[in-house]
Structures are given as structure tokens and as C-alpha cells.
A and B are shown apart, each in its own frame.
Chain A
């Protein structure tokens, strides 16, 4: 790898390469193919089951396209997000999401009917949605390569021109040369086993940064979802109907699924926390079951009635999957700062529509299908514009992987993964942030980076894990460098030493770099009303 000549077991040439087969990736592939581009989609797992959406159900930010309703929708989360969102982007996402959700109906998604007999388009069932998207992508002529993680991007002096990776089933290497690449590989949940998230290890951030892309909003990366202690199903919204208890059955005052999550975290530091969904009425219980069968699966299988029985809960790190940071976009086509490289979905920053606070599943789902659509469209146009000489480009891998060739054992890689988790999972570092703890943690992460950065794996399976360890280490460093730079509390970023929001820091923060992590605030933003009138 590194600067070695590209020679792979499987070699393909396409106009557009999409990395990641979740909602954003499939929409990108579909749109690019519709423009006439030849498209290859690679997924680390299986397009259709990979990622946070497929095993779950999600609300969708689907709003009737009237001035009044869009205005209300845009306004509702602006304060929570610390006024870092942008009305122009929000409006585009609302319009695109409306169109895409209606397009899904035409493609055969079986929307339910509401009590007035109207097709209800504000939620999607993950398994159904992603099975349909896979089918559509295949029908559009896209070549899907499952179990084929991308390990590095290929580039020349003109920009990005493909990627290479391995097929985990066979250990074969693959190379896809493409005029443009869309990264849609999701966020980073640090292998916390939050539902469907273990394939989401920040791989896209790493390969993009190696190619020179920057990230933004990485301080908004400390989302934790509520789940039963014994299970993986993180469905925080359902805990709206929960009461939280100490072991002795007395109520934990102030604990809640929304603002009260830090009370839960505080309590969990010293003792178990229990929940019971005792605020759901009987009819609500029925609706919840029909809305999210996966939520009830763990309870049903263990014979627990969550509406009448207390069960232990924990907070699982959802990192940037439910945070809002990611690859920075320089324009409305979802282009990164590197020519030929685009980003969509959770791999990209979601600050434009959520600011500094997760908009929950519905905003992320809307963002994934909208940004995927635009990235696919733009990548196709870019690739087509390159002309016929593009297949003669002298492309090289841009990662530094293996350049010093320190062979890493499977145990080494496991230890490195554990070391990153020790920095990002504890509430006292990542949730309740201070200058001192962030600095100490960043110091340890920098040391870890020096160990992992040049390591070389002995086989294909280890190579994938090694890249995950590198990606998570890099992601954690961007998170904490950004968190240190924001000396205030805003959105989900809470600094114990700077509890207030500072108007002078009303800006987005860019970060990037691998050996040396850099951080740079953007120009200050205007308040939302001014932005709106602009």
C-alpha cells in the first residue's frame, strides 16, 4: 500500500465509486446511476443490513412544503443546536426529503395509512427501507461489492480517483478507479454495540483526512443513547415515557431521555439506574409496538414487560452517529475540500441542519437521503466532466499505512481499540468536559496515534481492524482537539469549566490533520433571524 503501484486481485473502473451502502450511499448510487454514470458501491458489511438505519426504525423530517410548516420545522431545533444550523441548507433538505420520501412510495415502499386514510410518510422501517434501496440500486445497474471495506483512497495531483480495499470473505484485494468518490460510510460509534453501529468506526473520516479533507463540528460527538444494560437496542425516544429509578425503587429526580440524560450519567457513575415505561398509556403501548418491533425484542425474549417492570439501563456511546460532526462540505453539492471527493450522510457534517445538537433519527434520515442524492448527482457530473483521458491517471494510495512496516499482531490491534474506548466512553472525559481532562486524554491519544499510524497488519482481517483502530484514534483526537477549542457550552458540547454559551464563539470549528491535528474556527455566524433575511 502507500506509494506502491496498485495491483489488486479485483480491479474495476467506474465513473463514481460510493463507499458505504446505508441510506446515504444507496441514494448517492441511485442518483449517480440515474444521471448515466457507471457506479460501483462498496460496503464494509452488506448493503441492506449495514449501519444504524437497517436494524432500526426511524422518524423522517418530512414536512409539507408550505412556508408556514417549513418555517416551524426549521425553528423547532435551532436553539437546541446553538444556532449553528443554516436556514438555506435546512430548506433544501426539507424539499429534497419531501421529494425522496414520495419517490420511495412510487418505488413500492409500503407506507401505512393514518386515521384519515392518508399515506403516512414521517417514518421508515429500517429493514424494509434498506432492502428496497438495495433492490433499487441493483436494478439501476450499480455494481455492489459487499464485505469489501475500503482501506485507502487513490489520488493524483488532480484529486481523488478511486479507492482500494479488501474483500473480507476471501482476503482478496480490490481497486476501483473512479472519476469521483462519495464517502457515505457513516459516523463513528467506537464499537459500543449501539444498535447496528459496530460497522461505524470513522473509517471514512480517516481516508478523507489522508486525502486532505477537513472535518467540522467534531466537538459535537458525545451522543449517548439509552439502552437496557443487557441489550443493544438504543431507542432513546421511547424513554420519553419512562420513569427512572434507583435500585430501591425510589425515583431519580431530573432523570429523563432529553435534558435529563446527564442526571442518568451522573447516577450511573456510582450505582445502577432502572427504567420503567410507566408513563405510556395502553393505547400508546400498542402504537409503540407497531412502530418499533425491534425495541421490544429484547424484552419479549427475556420475558420482561417494560411497561410494568423495572429494568436496568445504561448509556451507550453513539459518538458522531448521533452527533453532528463529520467531513466538512465546501458547497451545496456535498463536495469536500478535495477535488473529486464528496461526502454524505453521517460521514459528513450535519451541522448545517442540526447545529450542535443531534436532531435525532428524523433529521439524520432526512440528511442522509438528501445529501446522498446531491453527492451522487454532483459526483456523476464531476466524473463525466473529466473526459476520456481520466482512465490513464497515475493514481497512488494516499495512506501512510505500512510505510514504516511495524507488524501489528491481532492482540496489538485489540489493545489499541480498547485504549481508544477508554478515552471516549467515560462520561467524565467525553460528556462532562473540562480543559484538564480533555488535554490529558488528547495527550494519551496522541501517543496512541504514534503507535498505530505506521503499523502493518499480517492479514486481511487484521488490516480492516487495524484501519478501524487508526480511524477511531484519529476521530477521538479531532473530537477532543475541537472540544478544547470551544471554550463554552453549546449544543451537546458541555464544558464544566465554561458552562455558559459565549456569543463571541458563535462559529463552526474545522479540524483535520493526522500527525499534527489542527483546529480552526470559521468566521462568526449571524444570528438566525439575520441569516433568514439574507
Chain B
């Protein structure tokens, strides 16, 4: 579930507010989104992908947890890690271009039951 909107990173672009399919965020008077309806978060990670400055952290748990502090997330490289893997953002190559499903499926066809 969504656990963090980094106030220091957020540029108040509102992308996450729009992109969240279950409308978890509201915009605060300052323009910075707030997590208004965490219970509605379906842990799909899409907001992280649409955040241009890696200001969001979605914990992998499907229920609220005590998430690591922002400094720890930065330190461990987890803040923005998914966007990096998917290859979104300036100067990156889309992960789709490196999709190696063909090797996987080729091997799968040799597995009994496929």
C-alpha cells in the first residue's frame, strides 16, 4: 500500500492524483498530494511509475504497515526502484525493449504441462 509522499521531492504536478485508478490521493492546499484514502489502495504500484521525481513509495504489503523512513528508502535505493526497472524517465530505455519473455516462454514450452 502507498505509504509515502515525499514532501521534499514532490513537485506538486498532480500526476499521481490523476493516475491512481482507485483515487487514493487528494491535493492539499499547498498542491502536495496527501494520502486521503489509503484503504482504497490496491497496491498496483502505478503511481510510482507516473511520479516524475520518485517521490512516492508503495510498500508491497496489501495492508498498512510501518514503512521504512524516507532516508532509509533512499539509502537502499528503493525509492524510485520500480520506475528504474520499467525504464521510465529521462535517458532510460523502456524495459519493454529488453523483455526476455521469449526465452522464458521457449523454456516453458519444454516444461511438461505447457
> Hey, which bits of chain A sit against chain B, CB under 8 A?
44-46, 48-51, 54-55, 57, 59, 109-112, 114-115, 120, 122-125, 127-129, 146-147, 168-169, 193, 195-199, 230-232, 237, 240, 256, 258-259, 283-284, 286-288, 290-294, 297-302
Chain A to chain B contacts (Cβ below 8 Å), 8 pairs: A54-B44, A112-B102, A115-B102, A115-B103, A293-B85, A297-B60, A299-B60, A302-B60
Residues of A within 8 A of B69 (CB): none
* Given A45-B21, A120-B102, A195-B44; A300-B81 close (CB under 8 Å): yes
Residues of A within 8 A of B100 (CB): 112, 286-287, 290-291
Instruction: Give the nearest-CB partner of A56 in chain B.
Output: B44
B90 within 8 A of A: no
* Given A193-B43, A231-B61, A290-B98; A45-B23 close (CB under 8 Å): yes
Task: Identify 19 new A-B residue pairs, CB closer than 8 A, beyond the known A50-B21, A127-B46.
Answer: A45-B22, A110-B94, A110-B96, A112-B98, A123-B102, A125-B96, A127-B86, A168-B23, A196-B42, A198-B40, A199-B22, A232-B44, A240-B114, A284-B104, A286-B100, A290-B101, A293-B85, A294-B82, A301-B78
Instruction: Give the nearest-CB partner of A301 in chain B.
Output: B60
Residues of A within 8 A of B18 (CB): 46, 146-147
A21 to B88, CA, bound (A): 21
Instruction: Give the nearest-CB partner of B47 in chain A.
Output: A49
A168 to B40, CA, bound (A): 13
B32 within 8 A of A: no
Residues of A within 8 A of B59 (CB): 301
A123→B108 contact, CB < 8 A: no
A54→B46 contact, CB < 8 A: yes
Q: From the candidates B21, B61, B101, name the one contacting A59 in the complex (CB within 8 A).
A: B101
A49→B44 contact, CB < 8 A: yes
A49 to B85, CA, bound (A): 17
Instruction: Give the nearest-CB partner of B103 in chain A.
Output: A287
Least Cβ–Cβ distance between B92 and chain A, in angstroms: 12
A232 to B61, CA, bound (A): 8
- Chain A CB count within 10 A is highest, among B50, B101, B102, for B101
> Considering only CB atoms and an 8 Å cut-off, how many residues of chain B contact the other chain?
41
Interface 1/0 per residue, B74-114 and A, CB below 8 Å: 00001001100110100000111111111111011001011
B20 within 8 A of A: yes
A301 to B50, CA, bound (A): 19
A297 to B48, CA, bound (A): 12
Residues of A within 8 A of B53 (CB): none
B88→A127 contact, CB < 8 A: yes
A127 to B83, CA, bound (A): 10
Q: A-B pairs with the 4 shortest C-beta distances?
A: A45-B21, A298-B60, A123-B101, A198-B42
B97→A55 contact, CB < 8 A: no
Residues of A within 8 A of B42 (CB): 193, 195-199, 232
Q: From the candidates B61, B86, B113, name the one contacting A258 in the complex (CB within 8 A).
A: B113
Least Cβ–Cβ distance between B67 and chain A, in angstroms: 10
Residues of B within 8 A of A122 (CB): 101-102, 105
